[in-house]
Amino acid sequence: MKHCDSLETCPLFRKYKNDENKNYALVAFIKEYCKGDKHTDCVRRKLSKALGGPDKIPANMMPTGMPVFGTLRDDWPDEVKSLQITLKP
pLDDT digits (tens, 9 = 90+) for 23-79: 777 778 888 888 888 888 899 989 999 998 888 899 999 999 999 888 999 999 999
pLDDT digit string, tens, across residues 42-57:
999 899 999 988 888 9
- Alpha carbons 13 and 86: distance in angstroms, whole number: 23
pLDDT at 77 (0 to 100): 92
pLDDT at 58 (0 to 100): 93
Phi, psi of 33 (to 5 degrees): -95, -55
pLDDT at 37 (0 to 100): 85
pTM of the prediction? 0.83
- Alpha carbons 19 and 85: distance in angstroms, whole number: 27
